[in-house]
Structure 1
């Protein structure tokens, strides 16, 4: 077998550990590492080289292989799309593979994970789960309930943000064998970016915040006028190259509204704009996934949509035709045009525990936002040439561990350059100027 791969020592050690894992009683294996250390490259090597060697060894030892299929999954649609393009293999979300559904909980206004009609227990499979730091306790239990004589391989970065309302993903709490890749194989020519990411990774580990050093041309601190000028320059047209990251949704909305003003766009979305779903949207054609990028191809104009006939409550909406990156078109999707009114209605129905109307607003009225600014949490799994980070907004986070992970995720999204805005609180290390 010709080996087309050239592994570094860390990757080779990880591949060897994976081979040992295949012959061990352990059910779970963790591959952890920051962006750019070759996790996907290692996955390809394991599938192309390690697994065939496993089957050869089983044959030599006169034993039947315990596993006969490899499955590639990820925790989000966006991550699954990226993984599929990288490994050139069929890839799905972990929810789709296990036939899991997120359902509204009409007893408390939350959501719960349930088994779909096609739920079954999978056997004799090696199941990779990418972006695994997002796995919460509920999903982790479902993965174990849905597998027998299987191997679960979690791939991600253990220093990233934890699942919502949890301090750490449960995959890291049960002493599963873990390998950690540390040697960069991408962007190795940006030592200043690698240095700050390593520093922030250490902060996640130790809880000790150190000052962030400004490095002109690589990590720049902007004042108000400079920030305005850079945003106007970088975002005058729609772009995938740059992204503004903040802590709160309110701040993200302010940035996106400001950028739309720079582009002289009206209050309502126009044909040709690229938007991102902030949450899952239910339509007659099916569900539009969270963080799905969509292009506006038609706008029917302002209309009134009846929300609550009993109390004569209407909401201003536009019905948009939207197209995703695969060419699928979603017709007449209602999109809010008055966010203040929408937020007031959801708050009111939640307070009244009128979950039927609350979920109608949440599920069927699309919350679409420009892609130019995003919360740090939503940016996990993505990389950009240039990243703007609102340090003042991040400093409003009152939880040190969350702030540490947020800073690490934000800085590690950048390939080439970082622009900082605002002051980083002293309790989170502050800044060192050149």
Structure 2
């Protein structure tokens, strides 16, 4: 080593040679060479390693891109094996001092010719492009004019060139949006939808950006500063109007009462003084465009939410109607009871369960509700036998992977997630349209477990993909939490007397103690302290003590125990404490950081319980999948057993479906510790022992905690549940109406109208 120096901040134009690391958590590290504005290498003996923080990465870093970066540079010089003095520079870029640079003029020839991702397009082909189009080449690329490019390159290379150009974020539209703080994902969506007309469409109405997941504040500032949009511009006020409705939709409501729309509009515009006449005019104009719809009660819907709710209402209505079963249902029930009696003495369905099985046999749409432990799974098992006897092709479905695994284990019938079912049905539909697969001769039946978790979007997607004669059975507990996504479906159905419905009320699991307490909570009553016993325990706790108490209780009996929280912040705090006590002295999962040349801890130790927070269908895991880190390798290792993935593995995770899967770096961003979960993440699963940590003082007057959340948490327990919190605040929370009752949805209205038609 000759020496190391730290220079003041400097700016450099760098061609990317190698991407060493890139993820959502840390940003990116790449190695490149300094170049001139023409793309010429400035120093053949020098290489620059650049670290971009997460906020600096406006588009994915790829080989061949040109990046302009500013930061402090550390310089290492050394003598290589051939005796030459080499210089290795490292730049740490902070803030947003980094951007992809679009080549100008003739420099585009160097950009194309030396880009490793533009295979088959060398210096000669790049020069031919310049000779033909000159500066017009940039417009040809921005407009994705593959036909013009194909005259020089052929269609395959022309398509590749356009694809890489847009991947690099070099179109005028992407550059323009990036300069104004729009994320690259938004720019790509805009470009993908509008194509070459993107800039013109946004100039015409910049608030179109709201449709591509950009936030109101960001878009409004962009429109006012860059497009000169006035405060009282009708485009702006109409967009603000729609923002109120779509914000409500993001919180679960499918409509907004007129009075709430007016107050919400004033809140979005933050005290700007607009006359009532102008506000009324804008609302009327929104209705005239058809983007917002009004019902007879003057409630305002987005067009999409209204159409989805109406489609769901029609899909349900067309299936409702009494029909004669094609098999002897009582005989099937008797045979089922005989088989179950071989493992459970004198087993019989109770009257409610028998009624539920008959209901399913008699209707193409049926709803079975009941609390935890009331025998819903038993009904599903018997229903499957009836449907098989009738010759149905049965799909047993649940929203979450852990719920699908639980019902599969309980019924011995293959079960899958709703997402994987939708994906399979979309593929089947495409193949049918191409004539690649024949239609099945067997009628289909869908049995959807934990149906209270299914939102409007998901159920509407299912109805759109299945045949009109497909039978649907929805099973669940309407007193649990409402779906995370918008709307309500399952919660609305039991209240309608024309919907075929049976409620199971008789507890059949975990003795009566947990069920009795759960039912009291469901009815809005917090039990007196003398009602608590060994199965249900209440522990008074302050807000500040919840993290310590939750982790302490967990560590007393960690086997088949879970801690449930109402906030991610509390769950994270408890997870850190449990990890410190259980696994922190064990082997750590580490990754090598080529920038600092050190091994860095990834946040996990051998034996840690983890949860996946995103869907990875290609791996067979999804948001909510739970697992244990069972092995950590000495070094990243290529696995001979996994020919489909050539990325090195860091270790093995054993997941809750019983499968061991390799842990690779690209999965780390989707993993968190899983000793403590939010209540929402727990739906569909049970544990032997459940510790529930609820907010205390901060929960007063808050709608975060209500009876449905407490009820859902309590009913996750098989043998014991420990409630921790402030008694008075818990009483107030349980007296509060459940979230589903507060959600504003139009489906009951559309169902009522469909019943009259």
What's the CA shift for 1:200? 1.9
Paired with 2:406 and 2:422, the residues of 1 have a C-alpha distance of 20
Report what 2:392 is aligned to. 68
Matches within 5 A, 1:156-195: 156-166=476-486, 168-169=488-489, 172-173=492-493, 175=496, 176-187=499-510, 189-191=511-513, 193-195=514-516
Q: Please point out which of 266, 274, 281 is paired with 2:609.
A: 274
Q: Using structure 2 for the length normalisation, give the TM-score.
A: 0.41
Paired with 1:169 and 1:385, the residues of 2 have a C-alpha distance of 30
Paired with 1:369 and 1:227, the residues of 2 have a C-alpha distance of 15
1:87 equivalent to 2:411? Answer yes
State how many pairs are aligned: 345
Matches within 5 A, 1:243-262: 243-262=562-581
Report what 2:257 is aligned to. none
Structure (1 or 2) with the larger CA radius of gyration: 2
What's the CA shift for 1:263? 2.0
Paired with 2:715 and 2:471, the residues of 1 have a C-alpha distance of 30
Report what 1:213 is aligned to. 528
Q: Which has the higher strand share?
A: 1
Paired with 1:402 and 1:231, the residues of 2 have a C-alpha distance of 21
Report what 1:367 is aligned to. 671
Superposed CA deviations along residues 9-34 of structure 1, whole A, max 9, x for unmatched, are: 1111212222321xxxxx42111111
Paired with 1:290 and 1:49, the residues of 2 have a C-alpha distance of 33
Report what 1:296 is aligned to. 629
Matches within 5 A, 1:139-150: 139-148=458-467, 149-150=469-470
Partner-residue secondary structure (3-state), 1:280: coil
Q: Please point out which of 687, 711, 714 is paired with 1:384.
A: 687
Paired with 1:142 and 1:84, the residues of 2 have a C-alpha distance of 23
1:3 equivalent to 2:322? Answer no
What's the CA shift for 1:252? 0.5
Paired with 2:448 and 2:423, the residues of 1 have a C-alpha distance of 15
1:155 equivalent to 2:487? Answer no
1:74 to 1:223, Cα distance in 2 relative to 1, 3 A: closer
- Note if contact 1:277-1:292 (Cα within 8 Å) is conserved in structure 2: yes
Partner-residue secondary structure (3-state), 1:289: coil
Structure 1 unaligned blocks of 5 or more: 22-26, 56-66, 102-114, 204-209, 304-317, 337-364
CA RMSD of aligned residues (A): 3.4
Report what 1:360 is aligned to. none
What's the CA shift for 1:250? 0.6
Q: Please point out which of 43, 63, 68 is paired with 2:380.
A: 43
1:422 equivalent to 2:721? Answer no
Paired with 1:12 and 1:86, the residues of 2 have a C-alpha distance of 19
Paired with 1:377 and 1:296, the residues of 2 have a C-alpha distance of 23
Q: Please point out which of 327, 330, 352 is paired with 2:662.
A: 330
What's the CA shift for 1:366? 2.1
Paired with 2:619 and 2:541, the residues of 1 have a C-alpha distance of 45
Superposed CA deviations along residues 346-387 of structure 1, whole A, max 9, x for unmatched, are: xxxxxxxxxxxxxxxxxxx223222x2111111112222322
Q: Please point out which of 89, 98, 102 is paired with 2:422.
A: 98
Superposed CA deviations along residues 90-136 of structure 1, whole A, max 9, x for unmatched, are: 221222223269xxxxxxxxxxxxx4576568872111111111111
Q: Which stretch shifts more, 11-20 or 28-37?
A: 11-20
Q: Which has the higher helix share?
A: 2
Report what 2:288 is aligned to. none
What's the CA shift for 1:428? 2.2
Paired with 2:533 and 2:604, the residues of 1 have a C-alpha distance of 37
Report what 1:312 is aligned to. none
1:410 to 1:68, Cα distance in 2 relative to 1, 3 A: closer
Partner-residue secondary structure (3-state), 2:335: coil
Paired with 1:404 and 1:332, the residues of 2 have a C-alpha distance of 40
Paired with 1:144 and 1:230, the residues of 2 have a C-alpha distance of 42
Q: Using structure 1 for the length normalisation, give the TM-score.
A: 0.69
Matches within 5 A, 1:399-418: 400=703, 403-418=706-721
Paired with 2:697 and 2:458, the residues of 1 have a C-alpha distance of 28
Paired with 2:546 and 2:673, the residues of 1 have a C-alpha distance of 25
Paired with 1:230 and 1:374, the residues of 2 have a C-alpha distance of 12
Partner-residue secondary structure (3-state), 1:180: strand
Q: Which stretch shifts more, 9-18 or 168-177?
A: 168-177
- Note if contact 2:455-2:487 (Cα within 8 Å) is conserved in structure 1: no
- Note if contact 1:211-1:429 (Cα within 8 Å) is conserved in structure 2: yes
Paired with 1:394 and 1:289, the residues of 2 have a C-alpha distance of 34
Superposed CA deviations along residues 222-269 of structure 1, whole A, max 9, x for unmatched, are: 4478985774364267521x2211111011011111111222516731
